[in-house]
Amino acid sequence: MIDILKATAAKIDEEKDYLTELDNEIADGDHGVNMAKGFNAVVAKLDAMSGKDIGSLLKTTGMTLVSTVGGSAGPLYGTAYMKAGSVLSGKNEMDEKDLVAAMEAAIGGIQMRGKATTGEKTMLDSLCPAYDALKSGVEAGEDMKTALTKAVEAAETGVEYTKTIKATKGRASYIGDRSIGHQDPGATSALYILQVLLDNI
């Protein structure tokens, strides 16, 4: 999990300019920079956490994101990681069912904190389809990699879907119909997190 979190930080850092470009088009243009700052702060804490359980790692990640990421992304992603960490508390290994439970808790945290649902041009438009695909795959007996591959594909489709809808939540909602045709940066950063998870299991 420490390796996955470090790889996530590297991916966000690599894509921060693109995320900022996406955010510039529909909001205040700080998503990439803020997310990179937050995950770099997470990385700074990870070496000291060697030997901690997965739940502790995720909770620390969440608390760090809340305190260092500006805008709505900090509280939303921070809550997601903290909720996932609660589900995995005390665990030193994570199986397919643990991943489903952690993702369900993370999405629940985002929905609670953001008062949002799918179809509003947010990170939920990539996370919710990904969760549905993951859960279906695991319930059908697929291993983690197979189920997560389908989840990432569903998230990619979700990101494309955000281009076709109007933002009704967050700063992007201020521009209304003009947000149609633009890809949501939050849905995109959520996709990157899932891609890194798949690449590193």
pLDDT tens-digit map of 134-143? 999 999 999 9
pTM, whole model, 2 decimals? 0.95
Residues in the chain: 201
Counting the structural domains of the chain, the total is 1
Residues 119 and 165: beta-carbon distance below 8 Å = yes
**What CATH number does residue 118 fall under?**
1.25.40.340
Domain that holds residue 72: 2-200
Q: How far apart are CA 69 and CA 120, in angstroms?
A: 22
CA distances to 74, 124, 125, 129 from 38, in Å:
8, 20, 22, 25
Average pLDDT on 10-24 reads: 95
Least confident interval from 133-137, 151-155, 180-184: 180-184
Least confident interval from 9-13, 84-88, 95-99, 168-172: 168-172
Q: Which pairs from 160-164 meet CB under 8 Å and 24+ separation?
A: 161/125, 162/121, 162/125, 162/126, 162/187
**Residue 117: which pLDDT band, with cuts at 50, 70 and 90?**
very high
